[in-house]
Structure 1
Amino acid sequence: MKLQYIPYTVKVKSGGSLNFRLCDTRGLEESMGIDVLECNYLLDGNVPAYYELNPTSPISPKYPGFKSDPSIMTLSIVQSSPTVKQAVEKASQILGLPRAHVLPVKNYEDEAELDDNIDILALLALRKMLHFTEDFMHNLIDKRNDVQVDMKKLKLEN
């Protein structure tokens, strides 16, 4: 079993590295793996490199080295941008979605190198999509369970 959270830098032929890391951690096994909250901490960047994993003591903000606000500056710049606000509002109106469900991202167009400010938008959008997916799956499971209970009641009544 993996005992540390280890980030690996992705190298390119030129000798540099991409602004992207592969991270190795415990798996998602029910009894010994990371849980949803720990996974969120990892995705949010709260967990320091080489964090000692312990299935009996989950990742916590109380842990020394825990990063409380790892990307707050980038987020505040993006969220306060009038251009982004206008684009979100326009997309919200056209698509009939709440503004909170419009996820701004920027494509790499003219950039010669990767940019953390562009990457964070894509990662935040991905995280929000995963949250929406998780909510949908929970609702689907609840609906299935309700139907099963209703079916059992019908069988008992007959």
Structure 2
Amino acid sequence: MANSTVTSKEPPTDISDDLLQTPWQEMDDFDWSEKSLDSLLTEIEKYTPLAEIGNHSNIPHVNILLLGRISSGKSSFFNTVDSVFKGRLSLRSRAGCASSSLTKSIDIYKVKGRKNTGTLNFRMVDCRGLEEDQSVNSRDVEAILDGHVMDGYVFNQSTPITKDNPKFRKNPTFVDRIHCVIFVVDGSNPPEITMSQNVEKQVKELQEMMNRRKIPQLILLTKVDTMATAKEELSKVFHSKSVLEMRDKVAMSFGLPAYTVLPMQNLANSRTVSKEVKILTLYNLRQVLRAADDFLENHEEEISGDKYMGAQTESY
């Protein structure tokens, strides 16, 4: 992970100073209309892994792992996604600010579509937050990536999961693995402030595991509503100079391409979900599902034969 240079330059506080004439990112065929919102909702409700290549019988859903420093907004992201489809505020995942991670266990969440569309074809895996003094054991994350860890496993900082643990899945198949990772980053502070040396070391170690497995990694840049343009008008988030600059800094910090950074505003102080929050949430979720599909496509033959029986070189 590249180091960033600390700068004393203050971000723009006035929308006229922060607003770019043209967006630095286009939203494909979508805009901020009710029509686009309905189109995104329908597309995600109909999402089936590998539907584009017609091979999905062995993969009924994809697994998305949420990682990030405490209070970055990863649990809030799931709540926001769930709220969009519920049409009301969802509090299924415990979220908030604390001195240590509020997530103590692996929590695997399903999301139901509107009305009678049933459970959608993705799972969100909420993991203990990265901390300065204690964090999730890297061996646990390795086991999670390979599909060995079941829902409800409680983390123990000093002792990683073993084969004797009742929450250890001995023979995972490809459907049990993690298919995409989202690093959730607090966009209200520069990465050189939020990413301490110890947390940076943890992230680099985890990224090495993901890179060996060729698992796609995306960055969710939360709290963009703290920046001038997005605060005043979320639909102008891709016109914001400060969001653009933060996107580039965060991408460099993680050593990932800038296009992997997804600006996001989670539900925080509002009990209702605005149209703009819904559209941005669904647009980002669609990008995540597409990344997961790309990973699956690279393993199409393996999935078709369901040959994967867990990490062959690891011992737990």
Greater helix content: 1
| Larger Rg, first or second structure (1 or 2) | 1
Structure with more relative contact order (C-alpha pairs < 8 Å, separation 6 or more): 2
- TM-score greater than 0.5 by the shorter chain: no
TM-score scaled by structure 1? Answer: 0.42
